[in-house]
Amino acid sequence: MEFKNLHDTNIKNKTVLYCAPYDIDTKEIDGRIVLKDNYRIRATVPSIKYLLEQNCKIVILTWVKRPNGEIVEKWRTIPHAKELTKLLGKEVKHVSDCIGVSVENAVKEMSNGEIIMLENSRFYAEEKENDENFISDLTKYYDIAVFDNFAGAHRDEASTTGVLRSLPSVAGLYFEKEVESLEKALNSKQHPFVLVVGGVKAEDKVKIIDRFLGKADTILVGGKLPLDPSVENFKHEQSVKVATLRNDTLDISDESIEIFVSILQQARTVIWAGPMGYFENLDSAKGTIEIGKAIANIEDGYTVVGGGDTSDAVYKLGLENGFDFISLAGGATLNFLGGEELPVMKYLIKDD
């Protein structure tokens, strides 16, 4: 899949609306609101540095969590701007809105090579409604949009498809990396190819299981999924191995851990989408830890973590260095792996 991209576009000296994947939750420490992690911000640094090299004015647009059109203090983008400032070693100014006079004035006052971060676009209900007037207000000051929000690529909202249909647009470097890495796993010729699915929500995972029947040599199913009636349909498939659970259902059984690990020790391509249990509590993290270690120890293969809770588990358990690629998206990654077309793609794919 080829995208309209930064390297093929004359972006020098442009005023850029940079659509970022900074949907990162916050926490309070000593009275200060700080980010829970900075993985997504770190992932976008190469794109932002490239734009700085091109002497662009960079205006960052993102949303944070689900404030439902209300202003929620803990979900302002102030800590995101502070974190990006630290990572770049360059000031990222914060604007207290994403539309209106304050934004207009801030953009007019910018010099080339400066960066500002707008306030959470979901403080407006019009964001999720994909409202045309709101989109017009979001996009009126910019020459081009650089879309790096792969985590929001499955959303049909103002700051995703709305921006893309209103401005000339290209994919950012992080967005391209996500798609290329997931495609590499999907198209891998290295076998045995094992898909590991877990977590709680069956709907998205069932789509993935269905897509990989006949493609993956083995599909391992854990988490809460063995309890879902929809998984029963796959138990007759020879390639599908469904875990048994502990009596408290918070983790897969020791027997299933042993079986899954033995299969993974022979694997060469692995996609892992969903933890094996309630990994947030170490008492029920054994399945996730052991399956994670088994995948991380694969040599001469290609291993991908499918975002969301799985990437959270990998970082929490300190396993991140053992994988070829860790997706930082949740629903977008699952939809992509499940074969669904992401709404933003038609605006970013290069014309034939």
Q: Are residues 125 and 63 in the same domain?
A: yes
Q: Quick check: 307 pLDDT over 90?
A: no
Q: Are residues 272 and 288 in the same domain?
A: yes
Query: Alpha-carbon distance 169 to 39, whole Å?
Result: 24
- Choose one of 174, 205, 234: the last residue of a domain: 174
Strand order of the sheet with strand 269-273? 240-242, 218-221, 193-197, 269-273, 302-305, 325-326
pLDDT band at 67 (very low <50, low <70, confident <90, very high): very high
Query: Alpha-carbon distance 10 to 3, whole Å?
Result: 15
Query: Alpha-carbon distance 59 to 328, whole Å?
Result: 22
Helix (H, G, I), strand (E, B) or coil at 35: strand
In the chain the first and final C-alpha atoms are separated, in Å, by 11
Q: Are residues 155 and 205 in the same domain?
A: no
Strand 26-29 with 32-35, pairing: antiparallel
Q: Quick check: 317 pLDDT over 90?
A: no
User: CA torsion 279→207→225→289, rounded to 10°?
Assistant: -30
Nearest to 104 by CA among 95, 113, 114, 94: 95
Q: Are residues 269 and 127 in the same domain?
A: no
User: CA torsion 94→97→101→103, rounded to 10°?
Assistant: 40
Range of the domain at 224: 182-337
Q: What's the pTM value of the predicted model, to 2 decimals?
A: 0.94
Question: What is the per-residue pLDDT for 352?
Answer: 64
Tell me the pLDDT tens digit for each residue of 17-53. 999 999 999 999 988 999 999 999 999 999 999 999 9
Q: Quick check: 108 pLDDT over 70?
A: yes
- Choose one of 144, 174, 204: the last residue of a domain: 174
What type of residue sits at position 338? G
Tell me the pLDDT tens digit for each residue of 262-296. 999 999 999 999 999 999 999 999 999 999 999 99
Q: Are residues 160 and 249 in the same domain?
A: no
Q: What is the mean pLDDT of the chain?
A: 95
Q: Are residues 151 and 189 in the same domain?
A: no
Question: What is the per-residue pLDDT for 1?
Answer: 82
CATH number of the domain within which 57 lies: 3.40.50.1260
Task: Give the CB-side neighbour count of residue 249, counting CA atoms within 13 A.
Answer: 7
Q: Are residues 103 and 199 in the same domain?
A: no
Q: Say if residues 116 and 95 touch (Cβ distance below 8 Å).
A: yes
